[in-house]
Structure 1
Amino acid sequence: MSQQLVQIDREHLKKLYAEEEALFLKNHPKCRDAFERAKNSLLDGVPMHWMKKWTGGHPLFVKQAKGGHFTDLDDVKFIDFCLGDTGSMTGHSPDVVVDFVSKQLNNGITYMLPNENAIWVGDDLKKRFGLPYWQVAVSATDANRFTLRIARHITKRPKILVFNYCYHGTVDEAFVTLADDGVTAECRATNIGPQTNPTNTTKVVEFNDVEALERALAPGDVAAVLCEPAMTNIGIVLPHQDF
């Protein structure tokens, strides 16, 4: 059975995109106004630069979030499929969390010292995941940095390995990509002011390429492999069964 290729009408696609963008702007005037006001003090009008990468010309500004929904400044209610990039997987502002956080606020929140709650968290993590010791990090980026330092210290190996166009926060070593030849590693074009060229510290291969991964690991100079269960930075790329 022959397959017939369907050619995408790019001009029609541009027309539809323009219509949707115009509708977005029409439905979110208060969010647009907030974005313009934010440019007076925030770089690119957002707290973090990636928040600007929003289809429609500007980001939504959230007024309230609860459970699996959030409402923007224009009182448009959305189902939230992002959930704080997994930080709110139990939903926004669960009552039990709000009640406990409110109670803790009265007892102080920035001691620079531990309290007994930290012991409970450590014991529970140990029980849940079977690892004997834990350390708290400020962010996923910090956790990756700690992990790479420990891995290099234990293995005495200098390199790390990542997959092409991965995302691991702002870990300097991870901003490396493959050149057009699919083999040569090079610094990402968006990597501004790197401390050192990441090709000196990092090997990079394509996700799902088992042979390339085996070749990269064969010399025995890789201390750690940073890997997502599924690639998420360039769309969703699922692992093959043999990967």
Structure 2
Amino acid sequence: MSADPQDQRYLVPVIDVPVIDRSRLAALLAEERDAYVRTHPGSAAVHARAEHLLGRVPMTWMGMWTGGFPLAFREAKGARVVDVDGTEYVDFALGDTGAMAGHSPSATVAAVRRRIDDLGGITTMMPTEDAEVVAAELTRRFGLARWSFTLSATDANRWALRLARLVTGRPKVLVFSYSYHGTVDESFVVVGPDGQPRSRPGNVGPAVDPTTTTRVVEWNDLAALERELAAGDVAAVLTEPALTNIGIVLPEPGFLEGVRELTRAAGTLLIIDETHTLSAGPGGMTARDGLQPDLLTIGKSIGGGVPAGAYGVSAEVADRLSRAVDETGADLVDVGGVGGTLAGNALSLAAVRATLEDVLTEDAFERMVALGTAYAEQVRSIIETRGLPWSVVQLGARAEYRFTAPAPRNGGESAAAADEELDAYLHLHLANRGVLLTPFHNMALMCPETTIQDVARHTALFGGAVDALLG
């Protein structure tokens, strides 16, 4: 299925395309790296002292900074971060979505303080009233009838896949190449250059070759999906409603409807992971586009910075699950538990309730999406006026530029468009001047505290970086 040729998501007019001078790029990158080291001695010292941390960081992905060491932060509030050297940044990274609500939103902080100071009991293995309130709100937003909680979207995805295999009696999973579902083992499969499935490059210590557990096809390829589902062994298709961790790759018109039609015809469950795509609105793309998943997973942003995740199942799947438990003796209470004793803890649920009720509201999303539109339009204007063969794609409050045009239509195309030197140069140019993007890709996210002045600041710096590059 091809995109509408008038769909401006994919088109960037290019005339007299300039060629990037790689030697000039290398020289500019070296200057930015020198400036980064020179102006961030405190962060460098924190990194140097971290001898007891694997990779000198609390979590290995925190090492993905092109300046040689990560920024160490001292404080953060709203759309601002201050590092240990006292430098303030406009933060468009927002914890790679974990802080979509902004850093330490007041309503969430108040709920957490009340839970700790006034009520006590951070985790007790007992339910609180917040649990049902949160589940009801998730049902209102996404439409799934029954909910349970985890500490991350990764855990939610793992459990959703296990439930899907139990309900269907089928062994395999299907994902789209370069989709992102946390550290779920079955999801680290991509379509190789030869068109065959392969373990994703860099996959760490897989228990088994993931091609034995998972089928994989390219995004926006309904024919390939139909072919793979025809085997009759796929319990569930696990998918984001738009790819988000390999650039933003949007579904072509009719693609998601086709996925739903094909999965139903094949007796395969559809699991939609809205962890990143919540940027589309209060109910993510599921509510915005009228999607009808059998299961839905979400994490990161719903806790306002406090670890939390959730998975929902439709009423039909809940009924099938009950029957499957009776028929198979599967133990959902003990042996089949997920997330450990901290899942659904009182502190997380207090944070989620406050974040959903008072922070990530419909009004907030209206403002955030408008800022995402302004950001994308301003970046697009610079790309077009400079005649660059680049593109920018928006997904609600999220936007990302990619060094190719038109915008990629699947994960393989987007991966092929990666340019580590350009990434490093732009990230450092921005960071050295007080603006942060997500360290490992060019994602910018708006939170309720982001302003149009913040967007304009990025635009000016982005334009300056491009002009310096073009000479």
Same fold? TM cut 0.5: yes
Structure 1 counterpart of 2:272:
none
Structure 1 counterpart of 2:432:
none
Counterparts in 2 of 1:240 and 1:130: CA distance versus 1, 3 Å: closer
Please tell me the residue identity of whatever aligns with 1:34: V
Please tell me whether residue 226 in structure 1 is matched to residue 238 in structure 2: yes
1:186-206 per-residue CA deviation (whole Å, 9 max, x = no partner) reads: 122322221111000101112
Structure 2 counterpart of 1:16:
28
Match among 183, 201, 207 for residue 195 of structure 1: 207
TM superposition shift of 1:43: 0.6
The 5 Å alignment of 1:113-128 reads 113-128=126-141
Name the structure, 1 or 2, with higher relative contact order (CA <8 Å, separation 6+): 2
Secondary structure at 1:236 match in 2: coil
Within 2, Cα distance between the matches of 1:126 and 1:234? 29
Q: Runs (4+) of structure 1 moved beyond 3 Å? A: 2-6
Within 2, Cα distance between the matches of 1:125 and 1:162? 24
The normalised TM-score by structure 1 is 0.91
1:174-216 per-residue CA deviation (whole Å, 9 max, x = no partner) reads: 11122221x2111223222211110001011122223222222
Counterparts in 2 of 1:130 and 1:237: CA distance versus 1, 3 Å: closer
Structure 1 counterpart of 2:154:
141
Please tell me whether residue 170 in structure 1 is matched to residue 190 in structure 2: no
Secondary structure at 1:136 match in 2: strand
Within 2, Cα distance between the matches of 1:179 and 1:131? 35
Match among 56, 60, 69 for residue 49 of structure 1: 60
Please tell me whether residue 101 in structure 1 is matched to residue 112 in structure 2: yes
1:120-164 per-residue CA deviation (whole Å, 9 max, x = no partner) reads: 222322333332211001111100011101111112222111121
Structure 2 counterpart of 1:87:
98
User: Unmatched 5+ residue regions in structure 1?
Assistant: none
TM superposition shift of 1:88: 2.3
TM superposition shift of 1:5: 4.8
Within 2, Cα distance between the matches of 1:138 and 1:220? 32
Please tell me whether residue 236 in structure 1 is matched to residue 248 in structure 2: yes
1:13-60 per-residue CA deviation (whole Å, 9 max, x = no partner) reads: 11111111111111211011111112x111111111111111211111
User: Unmatched 5+ residue regions in structure 2?
Assistant: 1-13, 256-471
Structure 1 counterpart of 2:344:
none
TM superposition shift of 1:4: 4.5
TM superposition shift of 1:117: 2.0
Root-mean-square deviation over aligned CA pairs: 1.8
Task: Report the number of matched residues.
Answer: 240
Question: Between Structure 1 and Structure 2, which shows a larger proportion of helix residues?
Answer: 2
Please tell me the residue identity of whatever aligns with 1:148: L
Please tell me the residue identity of whatever aligns with 2:250: L
Secondary structure at 2:248 match in 1: coil
Secondary structure at 2:94 match in 1: coil
Counterparts in 2 of 1:205 and 1:156: CA distance versus 1, 3 Å: same
